[in-house]
Each structure stands twice: as C-alpha cells, then as structure tokens.
C-alpha cells in the first residue's frame, strides 16, 4: 500500500504482519485502510508493506508524488497494491506503471485501482461506489485496499468469484444485465444477491485480447497462478543454475526435468490439468540461434542438415532455450442445470 502521512516514519516502508502490529503513529484513516486489507478472504494477506509518502499541501491541493515509492517497490517482492488516496486523474499513470512492470520488466504484480479501465491483466478495475457497513459507507477508492487484501488472501486453488464481504450490508444495486455488462467491460463489482454482498466475477480489466492471450487472461485466479509459476521458476533458475552449471545438454536436461517436476507438483495440487504439462528444448528458437552464429558440425554440415537430436545437443554459448505447455484449471462459475420431468 502507498499511504499518505503528514510526517515520514523513521523506517520506510513499514512491514506489518497483522492488525496487532499496525503502528500507532499512523493516522486513524491509514490504520483503518490497513485493517481493511487484513480482513482478506479464506486467508488474510501474509503481510502489508506500507510505503509512506508526504501528504500534499497547498491550494489547490496537488497530487501526491509516488515516484520514490514506485522506485522502491520495483526492488522488492509483492503481489497486490492499493493506493487509498490516489487522485482520480492519477490512476491512468499508475496503471501505466503497473503495465510497464509486467510487460517490460517481468515484475509480475497487480494493482487494484478505482474506476480505472486499464484493459490489462495487471490492473483490477474496482468500480463499486457504494460499499455500506452498518455505520459507514466507503467509496470505490476507499475500498480498494479491502479488495486487494481479499484477492491476496484467496488461495491459488480458489477464486474470489462470489467471495462474501460479510462486513457489508449493501452495495450498488445492479440488474443481472447491468452486472454482466460491467463484467464484460473488465470491471470488478460487488453484487447484493438479497442475502449478502459478494464479489461478482473475479475478473481483471483486460478486455482487448492481444495475440497469444485467450479469455483465461481475464481471470484473476489464472493470472495469479501464472505469476506464481513465473516467480518460482525464476527463483529456481537463479539460485541453482545461473552461473553455477555448465551450459551443456546434460545440464539443460536437468533444468527441464526440474521444471517438469514442478509442473507435476502443481498438477497434484489441482492447479494444472493432469497429463497436459510438458517442458522441452525450444527447437525452433535453438535452431534460429545456431543459424545466427553460423554454427556448423565438426563434419562441416550446417544447421539445416542437422538432426533434431543434434540441434538439441548443440552448444548455445550462454543461451538456454526452453518451451513448455500446460493447462491451468479454472473453477466452477457457470452451471447449466436442465431438468426433464
């Protein structure tokens, strides 16, 4: 979370592992925002990282400067971010920053932003303007921290679709058609089903599907699994392989087997379809690289005359080319039940 305070804390950011450890020095509003985040869903968030920025002063009131916080946040590990006091005209720039982290820097994070049509899997567009508790009503902006904590507290084998917000007594009222239209437009909404207030479809803001991205990229659950896979595999490669082993065929095979074993674990956890995961050397990429460096066999044969196995075993300097396939398991959301009498 990026929070605004009149005075900077001695330690910034502040790592908070539960509501009992929220610093007394924070304003009541910021304490409340952190408490909202810690409500979570099936689980509470593991922790909240609160970066404090100076609260702007002046007339007219300028927007807060998040650049220092953003610079720091590019250097640590986190999943979801909320900015409770973000100015309405600052959400687009913030969403652009998130997109850049994911698309150009491979930092797999997500932001929950109020009324922000980001059209991207890294931006969750929360649009409910009425979030009513018994004695208080929150705007969309004031409730993004609650939604971010809820999403962070949703296990990978579950979805936030229809997750109840038991502290709320009411929210914006929508007909089914209005709710469906909002979801199709990439909006994360709440619905009141007459018994409780709950999340509608757990979707991100992605609407326009670029080449290579299917409908599943609109699902928050699917993106969470993909992001966790990316981090786990990246950590394995960096900790056990980069700069530590020879780049020959045998060690490439060891890496491939390690990733395959990891996919098998995810299959056992019910996150991937069993039997649909595969990892191998990327033959087309490896062949293209060998051609680019003018590779030839000891007997003089060029790349186009090499067998598939020879291409796999060829030396590729420091480069490693791997490809894989898998099928992420979704959750039940649409049930058609036709009864014949």
Q: What is the CATH number of the domain that holds 144?
A: 3.30.1370.220
For 244, residues 6+ apart whose C-beta sits below 8 A from its C-beta are: none
User: Are residue 23 and residue 169 in the same domain, yes or no?
Assistant: yes
For 83, residues 6+ apart whose C-beta sits below 8 A from its C-beta are: 1, 2, 66, 94, 111, 113, 144
Q: What is the pLDDT of residue 340?
A: 82
Cα(14)–Cα(16) distance, integer angstroms = 6
Task: State the total domains in the chain.
Answer: 2
Instruction: Choose the final residue of a domain: 199, 227, 257.
Output: 199
Contact between 87 and 53 under an 8 Å Cβ cutoff? The reply is no
Contact between 131 and 167 under an 8 Å Cβ cutoff? The reply is no
Q: Which helix (H) or strand (E) holds 113?
A: strand 110-114
Residue found under tokens 């060891």: 254
- Note down pLDDT in tens along the chain; length 341 residues: 999 999 888 899 999 999 999 999 999 999 999 999 999 999 999 999 999 999 988 878 788 899 999 999 999 999 999 999 999 999 999 999 999 999 999 999 999 999 999 999 999 999 999 999 999 999 999 999 999 999 999 999 999 999 999 999 999 999 999 999 999 999 999 999 999 999 999 999 999 998 888 899 999 999 999 999 999 999 999 999 999 999 999 999 999 999 999 999 999 999 999 999 999 999 999 999 999 999 999 999 999 999 999 999 999 999 999 999 999 998 777 777 778 88
* Chain centroid, CA 82 distance in Å: 13
Instruction: Choose the final residue of a domain: 174, 199, 224.
Output: 199
DSSP string, 11-64: SSSEEE-SGGG--TTS-HHHHHHHHHHHH-SSS--S-EEEEEEEPP-SSSPPPP
Helices (H) and strands (E) in the chain, counts: 9, 14
User: Are residue 60 and residue 189 in the same domain, yes or no?
Assistant: yes
Q: What is the pLDDT of residue 9?
A: 87
User: Are residue 185 and residue 271 in the same domain, yes or no?
Assistant: no
For 268, residues 6+ apart whose C-beta sits below 8 A from its C-beta are: none
pLDDT tens string 30-76: 999 999 999 999 999 999 999 999 998 887 878 889 999 999 999 99
Nearest to 180 by CA among 201, 152, 157, 162: 201
Instruction: Choose the final residue of a domain: 164, 199, 234.
Output: 199
Residue found under tokens 């757990």: 202
DSSP string, 208-248: S--TT--GGGGBHHHHHHHHHHHHHHHHHHHHHTTTTS--S
Nearest to 100 by CA among 35, 92, 224, 163: 92
Q: Is 339 exposed, middle or buried (0-12, 13-18, 19+ CB in 10 A)?
A: exposed
User: Are residue 60 and residue 174 in the same domain, yes or no?
Assistant: yes
Residue 234 falls inside a structural domain: no
Contact between 188 and 167 under an 8 Å Cβ cutoff? The reply is no
Q: Which helix (H) or strand (E) holds 96?
A: helix 91-104
Q: Which helix (H) or strand (E) holds 307?
A: none
User: Are residue 18 and residue 144 in the same domain, yes or no?
Assistant: yes
Residue 155 falls inside a structural domain: yes
User: Are residue 19 and residue 89 in the same domain, yes or no?
Assistant: yes
Here the tokens at position 75 are 């250097």
Cα(139)–Cα(126) distance, integer angstroms = 10
Q: Which domain holds residue 101?
A: 2-199
User: Are residue 163 and residue 292 in the same domain, yes or no?
Assistant: no
């Amino acid at each position: 979370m990026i929070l605004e305070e009149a005075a900077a804390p001695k330690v910034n950011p502040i790592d908070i592992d539960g509501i009992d450890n929220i610093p007394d020095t924070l304003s009541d509003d910021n304490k409340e925002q952190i408490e909202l985040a810690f409500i979570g869903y099936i689980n509470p968030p593991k922790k909240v990282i609160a970066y404090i920025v100076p609260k702007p002063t002046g007339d007219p009131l300028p927007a807060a400067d998040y650049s220092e916080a953003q610079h720091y946040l590019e250097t640590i590990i986190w999943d979801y971010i909320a900015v409770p006091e973000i100015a309405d005209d600052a959400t687009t720039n913030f969403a652009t920053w998130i997109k850049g982290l994911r698309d150009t820097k491979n930092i797999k994070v997500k932001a929950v932003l109020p009324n922000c049509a980001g059209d991207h899997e890294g931006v969750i567009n929360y649009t409910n303007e009425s979030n009513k508790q018994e004695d208080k009503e929150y705007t969309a902006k004031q409730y993004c921290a609650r939604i971010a904590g809820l999403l962070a507290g949703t296990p990978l084998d579950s979805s936030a679709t229809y997750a109840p917000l038991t502290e709320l007594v009411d929210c914006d009222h929508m007909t089914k058609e209005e709710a469906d239209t909002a979801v199709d437009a990439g909006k994360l909404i709440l619905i009141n089903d007459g018994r409780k207030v709950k999340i509608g479809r757990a979707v991100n803001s992605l609407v326009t599907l670029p080449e290579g991205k299917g409908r599943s990229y609109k699902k928050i659950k699917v993106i969470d699994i993909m992001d966790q896979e990316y981090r786990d595999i990246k950590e394995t490669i960096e900790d056990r392989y980069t700069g530590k082993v020879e780049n020959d065929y045998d060690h490439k095979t060891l890496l491939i087997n390690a990733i395959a074993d990891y996919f098998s674990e995810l299959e056992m956890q019910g996150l991937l379809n069993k039997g649909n995961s595969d990892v191998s050397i990327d033959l087309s990429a490896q062949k293209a690289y060998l051609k680019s460096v003018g590779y030839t066999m000891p007997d003089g044969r060029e790349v186009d005359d090499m067998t598939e196995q020879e291409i796999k075993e060829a030396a590729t300097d420091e480069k490693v080319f791997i490809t894989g396939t898998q099928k992420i398991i979704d959750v039940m959301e649409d049930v058609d039940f036709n009864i014949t009498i």
